[in-house]
């Protein structure tokens, strides 16, 4: 686990709109071109966003077989609105070559999913928080467990580590690279 800045064991919870920072996580994935390079460029672009603050946690990179996706998770303090972060993430994806009209579940240079923003719950056409399927995906849970195994996700009663241990998904997720 790579740590940037001071570590806080418990996430800060934001109630309402833009009232302090909230622990926020994104999942990054790539299976086209320089996969590791794509993740690094996306990570650096996210860290450069004005409302992204320390402490920053970055998981190792994991490879999911057989699709050859590289996946990682980052967690940081975020001081803005989740919808604004989503817009900025979409711009980063587009700058890295992802088309806005891309079909689901195809190969792509970069895929960035907003997993959670504190305890915020949102459900609209563009954004669902927490991510509705993250607890079912080993390629998200494995990197998240790398940085926050004791975290209980919004809407869950088990820790990330427990969810991963009990997951019956068939995807093979292996550590690809520790530092990136």
d(CA 17, CA 116): 15
Q: What is the largest CA-CA distance in the chain?
A: 43
Domain count for the chain, please give it: 1
| CATH number of residue 85's parent domain | 3.30.70.560
What's the pLDDT score for residue 18? 47
> How many CA atoms lie less than 13 Å away from 26 in the CB half-sphere?
27
Span 43-70, pLDDT tens digits:
999 999 999 999 999 999 999 987 899 9
- The dihedral over CA atoms of 100, 24, 48, 178, expressed in degrees to the nearest 10, equals -100
Domain that holds residue 145: 2-177
Q: Name the pTM for this structure.
A: 0.84
Residue-averaged pLDDT of the chain? 86
Over residues 113-168, the pLDDT tens digits come to 999 999 888 888 888 888 989 998 999 999 999 999 999 998 899 999 999 999 98
Structure tokens, 164: 């991963």
At 128 the three-state DSSP class reads strand
Residue 5, CA distances (Å) to 2, 27, 54, 56, 85 in order: 10, 20, 6, 6, 21
Per DSSP, 109 falls in state S
Residue whose C-alpha is closest to residue 151's, from 8, 2, 14: 8
Cα–Cα dist 170/74, whole Å: 24
């Amino acid at each position: 686990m790579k740590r940037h800045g001071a570590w806080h064991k418990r996430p800060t919870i934001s109630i309402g709109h833009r009232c302090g920072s909230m622990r926020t996580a994104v999942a990054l994935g790539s299976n086209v071109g320089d996969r590791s390079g794509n993740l690094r460029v996306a990570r650096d672009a996210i860290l450069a966003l004005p409302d992204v603050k320390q402490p920053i946690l970055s998981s190792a990179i994991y490879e999911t077989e057989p699709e050859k996706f590289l996946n990682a998770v980052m967690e940081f303090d975020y001081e803005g609105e989740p919808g604004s972060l989503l817009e900025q993430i979409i711009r980063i994806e587009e700058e890295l070559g992802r088309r806005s009209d891309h079909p689901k579940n195809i190969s792509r240079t970069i895929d960035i999913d907003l997993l959670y923003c504190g305890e915020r719950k949102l459900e609209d056409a563009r954004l669902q928080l927490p991510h509705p399927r993250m607890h079912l995906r080993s390629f998200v849970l494995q990197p998240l467990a790398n940085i926050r195994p004791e975290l209980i996700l919004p809407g869950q009663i088990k820790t990330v580590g427990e969810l991963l241990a009990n997951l019956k998904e068939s995807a093979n997720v292996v550590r690809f690279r520790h530092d990136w």
